[in-house]
DNA sequence: AAGATTCTCAACCGCACCAAG
DNA sequence: TCTTGGTGCGGTTGAGAATCT
């Protein structure tokens, strides 16, 4: 990508920053550095410039399909924690990943009929929305309409391939959805819409067990070799914790009291999550500050939850997070060293 | 060819955390 | 305990490039 006018203007500053910072391998007091060099930038800006652009190990070429696959999987697992995602992509910064997500990947997913926020098919989201409205018939109609509208198939499809297809059709409009061809092997991940009725888009399971991502441990290493990392129901069952879904909370909150038969299961999951949280908090977790996450989640999600649900909400968030780290154990390791 | 629109991405902003004094 | 400075992070902005009409 050509991007240089602004860089050209400050190339002298860049050279100063580079020479001063690189001596310390990116560390040191950049406020002092900036003052010493007589730069117009503040220390923070110098650090940003260094970290996001000048660092010699950074890649400045386009993202590969393997990198895109990995970003999508990690985003599905941990959300917009760009720094963590970037740590898994040597030579990429959090800003790079964030920009690429916002400018490319979100659009691609949307064109594929997948909500980039929840990583669920739009059909399920609308069906869930209809469920919140309290009318199953209505939701069924909505889901059916959408299914007809976007021609989504329930069989597994190859995300990476679809991305390449979309790339080859730059002018494709959102109203002309891609054709998803089912494949047997070598898929990045699968989406199944309903365990017992694979072709039923309109009635997702209330428990939210379907449609949630499963990220196998091998998936990261495997992504570069395009081997299987499945989103499959079978693999989900191997996980001890029911996958987390925002929708589940919205639905349960909307239909207090909770659904029949869910309570005991939820309590078991809660206990398991608590145990995991204790293990991880007492363990070797280094790359993520769990307290910070708790604080941020508590403040950023400002919708009201009842006293009976806020605990389960937080615990489920933590449970989901733990599940993520179980699926991506290397996230708990030291970040990539530059 | 030219103006309008869209896209890209470096930089900025604000908040939070942490360590030192 | 409070203040201050450094740092990390995620969301947003805006200038320039690319594309469209």
C-alpha span between A322 and A186 (Å, rounded): 27
Position A104 scores a pLDDT of 87
Position A209 scores a pLDDT of 30
Integer CA distances (angstroms), A181 to A57, A62, A159, in order: 39, 27, 10
Q: Are residues A123 and A187 in the same domain?
A: yes
Give the protein-side footprint of strand B (Cβ within 7 Å). Answer: A 1, 3, 6-7, 10, 41, 45, 48-49, 52-53, 60, 95-96, 98-100, 102-104, 289, 291-292, 295-296, 299
Query: How many independent structural domains does chain A possess?
Result: 2
Give every CB contact of residue A255 below 8 A, 6+ residues apart in sequence. none
- Which CA-bearing residue is nearest the C1' of B15? A296
- Which CA-bearing residue is nearest the C1' of C19? A171
Q: Are residues A182 and A279 in the same domain?
A: yes
**A28 strand C contact, CB < 7 Å:** yes
Within-domain flag for A25: yes
Position A163 scores a pLDDT of 56
The structure's pTM equals 0.56
Which residue has tokens 């919140």?
A: A132
Q: Are residues A10 and A94 in the same domain?
A: no
- In sequence order, the β-bridge partners of residue A45 are none
Within-domain flag for A19: yes
Give every CB contact of residue A178 below 8 A, 6+ residues apart in sequence. A111, A112, A162, A165, A166, A169, A172
Q: Are residues A213 and A304 in the same domain?
A: yes
C-alpha span between A310 and A305 (Å, rounded): 5
Instruction: Identify the domain containing residue A28 by its residue range.
Output: 5-54
Residue A38 region by backbone torsions, left for phi larger than 0, else alpha for psi between -120 and 50, else beta: left
Q: Are residues A76 and A123 in the same domain?
A: yes
Position A119 scores a pLDDT of 84
Which residue has tokens 């879904």?
A: A245
As to burial, measured by CB atoms within 10 angstroms (0-12 exposed, 13-18 middle, 19+ buried), residue A130 is: buried
Q: Hey, what are A241's tokens?
A: 């914790």
Within-domain flag for A337: no
Closest CA to A1 of A68, A71, A76, A100: A100
Position A213 scores a pLDDT of 34
Q: Hey, what are A262's tokens?
A: 């869910």
Residue pLDDT tens, chain A, 338 long: 333 333 344 466 777 776 666 655 445 566 666 666 666 677 778 788 888 887 777 888 888 888 888 898 888 888 888 888 888 888 888 888 888 888 888 888 888 888 888 888 877 777 776 766 554 444 444 444 334 333 333 333 345 555 555 554 444 433 333 333 332 222 333 333 333 333 332 223 323 333 333 333 333 333 333 323 333 333 333 333 333 343 443 333 333 333 333 333 333 444 433 443 344 334 333 333 333 333 333 333 333 333 444 444 445 555 665 666 666 666 555 544 44
Q: Are residues A12 and A90 in the same domain?
A: no
Q: Quote the longest CA-to-CA distance of chain A.
A: 70
- Protein CA A100 to sugar C1' C12 (Å): 15
Q: Hey, what are A311's tokens?
A: 């605990």
- Protein CA A31 to sugar C1' C4 (Å): 14
Contact A113/A124 with Cβ under 8 angstroms?
no
Cα-Cα-Cα-Cα torsion A123, A129, A130, A134, nearest 10 degrees, comes to 150
Within-domain flag for A201: yes
- Protein CA A232 to sugar C1' C16 (Å): 44
Length of chain A equals: 338
Within-domain flag for A59: no
Q: Are residues A152 and A264 in the same domain?
A: yes
């Amino acid at each position: 990508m050509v991007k240089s006018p602004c860089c050209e203007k400050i190339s002298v500053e860049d050279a100063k920053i580079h020479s001063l910072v690189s001596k310390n391998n990116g560390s040191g007091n950049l406020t002092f550095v900036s003052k010493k060099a007589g730069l117009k930038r503040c220390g923070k800006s110098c650090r940003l410039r260094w970290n996001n652009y000048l660092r010699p190990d950074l890649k400045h070429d386009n993202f590969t399909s393997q990198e895109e696959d990995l970003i999508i999987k990690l985003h599905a697992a941990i959300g917009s924690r760009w720094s963590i995602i970037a740590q898994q992509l040597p030579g990429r910064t959090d800003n790079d990943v964030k920009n690429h997500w916002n400018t490319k990947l979100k659009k691609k997913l949307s064109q594929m009929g997948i909500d980039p926020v929840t990583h669920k098919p739009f059909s399920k989201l609308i069906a869930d929305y209809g469920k919140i409205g309290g009318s199953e018939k209505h939701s069924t109609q909505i889901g059916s309409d959408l299914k007809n509208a976007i021609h989504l198939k329930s069989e597994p499809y190859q995300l990476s391939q679809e991305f390449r297809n979309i790339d080859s059709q730059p002018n494709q409009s959102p109203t002309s959805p891609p054709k998803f061809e089912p494949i047997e092997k070598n898929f990045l991940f699968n989406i199944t819409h309903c365990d017992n009725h694979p072709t039923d888009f309109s009635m997702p399971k209330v428990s939210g067990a379907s449609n949630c991502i499963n990220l196998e441990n091998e998936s990261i290493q495997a992504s570069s070799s395009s081997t299987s990392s499945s989103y499959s129901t079978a693999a989900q069952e191997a996980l001890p914790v029911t996958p987390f879904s925002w929708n589940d909370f919205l639905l349960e909150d909307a239909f207090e009291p909770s659904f029949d038969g869910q309570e005991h299961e939820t309590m078991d999951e809660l206990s398991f999550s608590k145990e995991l949280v204790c293990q991880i908090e007492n363990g070797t977790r280094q790359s993520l500050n769990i307290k910070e996450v708790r604080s941020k989640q508590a403040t950023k999600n400002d919708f009201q939850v009842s006293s009976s649900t806020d605990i389960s909400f937080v615990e489920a968030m933590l449970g989901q997070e733990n599940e993520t780290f179980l699926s991506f154990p290397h996230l708990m390791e030291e970040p990539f060293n530059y």
